[in-house]
Amino acid sequence: MKKQGIIQTQLGKALESERYALILAMVLAAIPYMGWLAEALIAFVTLRKGAKVGVQLLLPVILVHTLLSVFAFPVYVALTIATLNVLPCFVAAWVLKKTKSWQQVAFSLFGLVVLGVMLLHLVLPSFITEQFKHLEMILEGLYSSTTEILSFWQQKGISREALANYLVGIQATSIVFSSLIPVFLARSIQAQLFYPGGFRNEVLHFRANKYGLLVFLALSMAAFSNVYLAMNVLPMVLFYYVLAGLSVGAYMFSRMRPLVAGLILIVPLILLAWVMMPLYFLIGIIDSLCNARVLMTSKMKEV
């Protein structure tokens, strides 16, 4: 049986038995490198049965992640890390079930990021600068040119504090991205089992909200004025438009095999990130203002 078939079978059993779902989620959470499958299970069950059943899996999985981390971190740190890893995935799945809209999922995750960094500034403001100093020490031990790189950015008018806050924003965005992967998997399998072709249609037609451009401009001006909260959430908005640009690219290559189209879109993004990320970002903005898919469809008809 193929791996995807195994996952579908296990998720089907999890829908039939809440006890089986709980045991499976805790076992996956306890196995190294399998925690994301436990999150996918939480997302799948939440998408099908709602928040109440999803919470019954969410809390035990957070507990397992915490217990596995207490040997390396204090209890409150381990609990925080576990919550950050699992909670956004559950929220995204719950919002998607309630609204059937990836736009609303993006807004809810953006709200979580804003709330999280606000709490960070209020409760533990020294964490941001201390983390940056620690990272700087590590990089200096690995790369002798680290000081020159930091000096370069400072010459451009970006202070160490600004770099530290942008780093927090990048970390928050990476947490959001890692939480979306299990939701994508859960939604894909849900579509395969109950709504064939549905997830593919959602991926190909995802568009960024045009009013998000106003948010981006406001955050950019605030970040330019050294508002640290804006620096923390600006990478999240950039990521949002990059995903929208990738959706346009997926639509453009939708007639190809999914694997080939995926390689065409992702490999350049990895190898030439400094070129492709601005390009996808620009495409995402243009698509939010004028539907690029309509334009592409009309051009195809003309040909």
CA distance 132 to 138: 10
Two tokens, residue 160 = 């160490």
Neighbouring C-beta atoms of residue 290, cutoff 10 Å: 9
Residues of the chain where predicted confidence (pLDDT) is lower than 70: 1-5, 138-157, 297-303
Instruction: Give rounded-to-5 percent helix, strand, coil for the chain.
Output: 85, 0, 15
Two tokens, residue 10 = 């296990």
Quick one: pLDDT at residue 203? 92
Q: Are 66 and 79 in contact (CB under 8 A)?
A: yes
CA distance 68 to 281: 38
Quick one: pLDDT at residue 283? 94
Half-sphere exposure of 241 (CA within 13 A, CB side): 26
Quick one: pLDDT at residue 299? 57
Two tokens, residue 153 = 């950015």
CA distance 102 to 74: 36
Quick one: pLDDT at residue 10? 83
Two tokens, residue 99 = 């609204």
Quick one: pLDDT at residue 162? 85
- Residue ranges covered by each domain of the chain: 205-303
Quick one: pLDDT at residue 132? 79
Q: Are 189 and 44 in contact (CB under 8 A)?
A: yes
Q: Are 280 and 288 in contact (CB under 8 A)?
A: no
Helix (H, G, I), strand (E, B) or coil at 216: helix
Quick one: pLDDT at residue 2? 43
